[in-house]
Amino acid sequence: MIKDALIILRKELKNILKDRRTLIATLLVPFLLMPIIFTGMSFVERKQRSSAEDTIYPVMIMHNEAPEFLDILSGKLNFTLTKEPGDDVLVVEFPEGYIPGDTAKAIIHFNSTSKKSSFAASMISSALVEYSAYLADSYLDDYGIDLQSIYTISVFKLDTAPEEAQGAEFLLVMVPYMILIYVFAGAMAVGIDATAGEKERGSLAVILVNQVSRTSIAIGKILYAVTVGVVSSCMTFCGFILAIKISGGMFGESVNLSGFSFGSLLVILITLVMTSTIAASIIILLGSLAKTAKEASTYILPIYFIVIILGVLTMNMDPSSNQLLFLIPFLNTVFMLKGAIISNSTMLQLVMLIVSDTVLIALLVYSTSRLYNSEKILNTIS
């Protein structure tokens, strides 16, 4: 049976290797997509910040002409003073009759729809905080008191996470989500084509009348979708790591990759294989029930949307120590990957994932095999 299933697998792989467009979409695009997205976002972010920093902003300061504030502001923002309000003018409004040292509320007028205006407003706000500290220091100096001596508590954050897990916050958010999505997406196109697509082309009927057992055909098609799903997911993961290597991180924060030891990568690979097998088994079963590729898509898309929602809901969740969660397919994928990234996964969690996923896979393979061995598979052929 396994030998016949491998024959079906080789047949399907030969077909995809001949289709250059599918090959590019399955292998090359996932590998290049992450570097393009990440480097593009980082480039645009740096470009926008550089442009905002180099811009000379017209600023109107009302009711305060203290040179100390202007000196502090000039260290944070390129600006020119103006006395005329306008659409692009940032206004810093002190209370009328304000005297430096008075308790006052300064109002910054800016345009929130403009990135540059928002950037300038944040710099002005920072300058006002520093100016307030300067005034307080000057006031206390008259009494021989240093401003710093008033603050009795200094705060320092010490990260107690393992060294290999420090700086992995971004990976914990993005890697499980991306892999979960691409595991399903990678297997969906080829799975539909290998089932409902073959029905539309009339090639499935030819395969069914061969001497190969129908169970082997079902298993072979599942193995084919699993293979493509795993490869697509691995290419996505490699592209993700390449993107981080190229960009050095995201949103100005560095990303730590030291947590990816051999053991972590092995856990990630096993999780990928198990999750891809579940996704492929679902897709092959639903695709086999449909008469056309369009109908198969309508069956599969609701499950795909559930997977996407699951990925979004768990993006900001911490790795869980609740062992029962590792018995729930797809959810156990997320938490297993999060644990692997920070080297916090356990053998018990991995075993629970393998056992629970294997039970579901066995049920799906059995259902698909029953379908292929019954007359229902023939009745679904248009």
- Write the pLDDT tens digit of every residue in 162-185: 666 666 676 777 778 877 887 787
Residue 291, domain member (yes or no) = yes
According to the model, what pLDDT value does residue 288 have? 86
Pairing assessment for the beta strands 57-62 and 79-81 based on DSSP bridges: parallel
pLDDT at 22 over 60: yes
pLDDT at 198: 82
Measuring CA to CA, which residue among 289, 275, 124 is closest to residue 204? 289
The residue that leads in pLDDT, 56 or 35, is 56
Q: What's the structural domain count of the chain?
A: 2
* 234 and 118 together in one domain: no
Could you tell me the pLDDT band of residue 34, with boundaries at 50, 70 and 90?
low
Is 76 exposed, middle or buried (CB count within 10 Å of its CB: 0-12, 13-18, 19+)? middle
- The stretch 214-223 carries a mean pLDDT of 83
371, part of any domain:
yes
Same domain, 204 and 179: yes
Do residues 201 and 98 both lie within one domain? no
Nearest to 200 by CA among 7, 382, 9, 69: 382
CA distance 83 to 200: 74
pTM of the model: 0.64
Which residues share a beta bridge with 108? 92
Q: Is there a single domain that holds both residue 193 and residue 328?
A: yes
270 & 352 share domain: yes
Return the closest-CA partner of residue 336 out of 278, 287, 284, 256.
278
pLDDT of the residue at 310:
84
Helix (H, G, I), strand (E, B) or coil at 323: helix
One domain, residues 267 and 196: yes
Cβ–Cβ contacts within 10 Å for residue 253, how many? Answer: 10
pLDDT for 259 equals: 55
CB 173 within 8 A of CB 266: no
Whether 93 maps to a domain, the answer reads: yes
SS3 call for 134:
helix
Percent of all residues in the chain with a pLDDT value above 90, rounded to a whole number: 20
Q: Give the whole-number percent of the chain exceeding pLDDT 70.
A: 83
Say if residue 206 is in the same domain as residue 327: yes
Q: Identify the three-state secondary structure at position 166.
A: coil
Mean per-residue pLDDT over the chain, rounded: 81
Cα dist. 209→201, 203, 215, 299, 372 in Å? Answer: 16, 11, 13, 27, 12
Closest among 29, 10, 13, 14 to 233, alpha carbons compared: 29
Query: Domain range spanning residue 277?
Result: 2-36+167-379
Instruction: Look at 302 and 342; give whichever has higher pLDDT.
Output: 302
Predicted pLDDT at 256: 56
284 and 187 share a domain? yes
* Number of CB atoms found within 10 A of residue 289's CB: 18
Task: Give me the mean pLDDT over the 119-134 stretch.
Answer: 93
Residues 171 and 257 in one domain: yes
- Flag whether 134 is in a domain: yes
| pLDDT given at position 354 | 94
> Which ranges constitute the DSSP H helices of the chain?
2-18, 20-23, 29-54, 67-74, 115-141, 147-150, 169-194, 196-201, 203-208, 214-247, 262-289, 293-313, 331-341, 347-372, 376-379
Q: What is the pLDDT of residue 80?
A: 94
Asked if 214 and 373 touch (Cβ cutoff 8 Å), the reply is: yes
Residue 161 lies in a domain: no
Is there a domain that residue 157 lies in? no
Evaluate if residue 16 carries a pLDDT over 70.
no
Split at pLDDT 50, 70, 90, the class of 215 is confident
Helix (H, G, I), strand (E, B) or coil at 249: strand
How far apart CA 76 and CA 74 sit, in angstroms, is 5
CA 41/CA 126 separation, integer angstroms:
26
Which residues on neighbouring strands pair with residue 91, listed in sequence order?
Answer: 60, 109
Q: Do 125 and 203 fall into the same domain?
A: no
Whether residue 256 is found in the same domain as residue 371: yes
Mean pLDDT in residue range 194-201: 82
Instruction: Name residue 107's beta-bridge partners.
Output: 93
Q: What is the mean pLDDT of residues 2-14?
A: 72
pLDDT in tens, 233-267: 777 777 777 776 776 655 455 555 555 677 888 88
Q: Read off φ and ψ for residue 16, nearest 5 degrees.
A: -70, -30
CA 325 to CA 19: how far, in whole Å? Answer: 40
- Would you say residue 333 lies in a domain? yes
- 61 and 19 in a common domain: no
Encode pLDDT of 60-118 as tens digits: 999 998 899 999 999 999 999 998 888 889 999 999 989 888 888 999 999 988 889 99
